[in-house]
Structure 1
Amino acid sequence: MRKVAVALRGGLPWAPGANGRAEAPVIAASGRGFLADEIVAMAEANGVPVEHDPALAMALSHLEVGQAIPPALYTAIAELLVFLYELDAQQARATGSPAPIDTGDPNAPLSALLSQVS
């Protein structure tokens, strides 16, 4: 089985796009095998959460880098965002600091997704 990793960028409600509205996340990086390992390693080294979701990773791996998430995947991505927001809130409670909501960089990677595929 080969690993698949996909990193997302954008799609944050507090970081509107050029039209002034929140836009769908886009594929920031995608790869299999060694490249997938590198994407995950970079995410972990930079404190970017890594969510293991084989089905979503496979669906996203068919998109091109720079391509926006299609509407058919909005629900799955929304569930991922909720997970990330909850993770931020848990970490904030554990450290007694405010939850990191605004990164100041609307292009900061959101998450890397990892799966095992054959």
Structure 2
Amino acid sequence: MPDPTDNPKLRRIAAALGYDPSKTDAPKLMAKGQGDIADKIIELAKEHNIPIREDRDLVAVLAKLDLDQEIPPELYHTIAELLAFVYRANKLYKNSK
């Protein structure tokens, strides 16, 4: 049976963004990886109650960036939508406690 990780369309991939407006103008790529590394990124996010959003197209673009690189202006709108999702998730999480 073929290994599903041999197929790029099925391979697990993850990216993590960070943003500190006092230090940078745009969010930065803080982590990225495939396979076991992607699993660890997701595991750490869950452990720290960081919202996770699945978007294979976006993560494919983010994976092309260098670590600690600010996202390019072409992604500002997409990342703004992602941040809105995160803020809503954080609010729901805080209200549930």
TM over 0.5: yes
Q: 1:92: Cα distance to partner?
A: 2.6
SS of the aligned residue for 1:81 comes to helix
The number of residues matched between the two structures is: 88
Letter in 2 for 1:4: I
Instruction: Give yes or no for contact 2:51–2:90 (8 Å, CA) kept in 1.
Output: no
Give, in whole Å, the separation in 1 of the partners of 2:94 and 2:47.
19
Instruction: Give yes or no for contact 2:29–2:65 (8 Å, CA) kept in 1.
Output: yes
Give, in whole Å, the separation in 2 of the partners of 1:68 and 1:92.
28
Q: 1:74: Cα distance to partner?
A: 0.4
Q: Deviations over 1:46-74 (max 9, x none)?
A: 21111111111111011010110000000
Q: Which runs of 5+ in 1 are unaligned?
A: 96-118
Q: 1:91: Cα distance to partner?
A: 2.1
More contact order relative to length (CA 8 Å, sep ≥ 6): 1
Partner of 1:86: 88
Give, in whole Å, the separation in 2 of the partners of 1:76 and 1:5.
16
Richer in strand (by share): 1
Letter in 1 for 2:89: L
TM-score under structure 1 length normalisation: 0.69
Partner of 1:8: 17
Q: What is the percent sequence identity of the aligned residues?
A: 35
Partner of 2:47: 45
TM-score under structure 2 length normalisation: 0.82
Give, in whole Å, the separation in 1 of the partners of 2:58 and 2:67.
16
Letter in 1 for 2:12: K
Instruction: Give yes or no for contact 2:12–2:38 (8 Å, CA) kept in 1.
Output: yes
Q: Which runs of 5+ in 2 are unaligned?
A: 1-9
Q: 1:36: Cα distance to partner?
A: 0.7
